[in-house]
Amino acid sequence: MSKLLKQFSPKGKIELVSNEKEVISSENIEFTIQDTEYLLRKLVEAQIDGREVEQASDVMKKIKELHRQCMEQSIAVNI
């Protein structure tokens, strides 16, 4: 039996994927700029154990990408 993992897709979707990287199902969850700012702020403030630094870095990169996309959408809408 494969383990299910949550993964962020580029458009703010959270996809359930197996450890074989097969998409099982997906939900459309929208993140706002405020959501991504909050998550980034909490990650920066968090005390991260040495063995979790790589994982935290990967998560931060994903959230930063979501934040960048939210900001681009906001700019496009506000023009």
pTM of the model: 0.60
C-alpha span between 76 and 32 (Å, rounded): 14
C-alpha span between 35 and 70 (Å, rounded): 10
- Does 56 score more than 50 pLDDT? yes
pLDDT band at 22 (very low <50, low <70, confident <90, very high): low
- Does 8 score more than 80 pLDDT? no
**Which pLDDT score is estimated for 64?**
94
**Which pLDDT score is estimated for 11?**
53
Q: Which residues contact 74 (CB under 8 A, 6 or more apart)?
A: 33
**Which pLDDT score is estimated for 77?**
60
**Which pLDDT score is estimated for 1?**
39
- Strands in the chain per DSSP E: 4-8, 14-18, 23-27
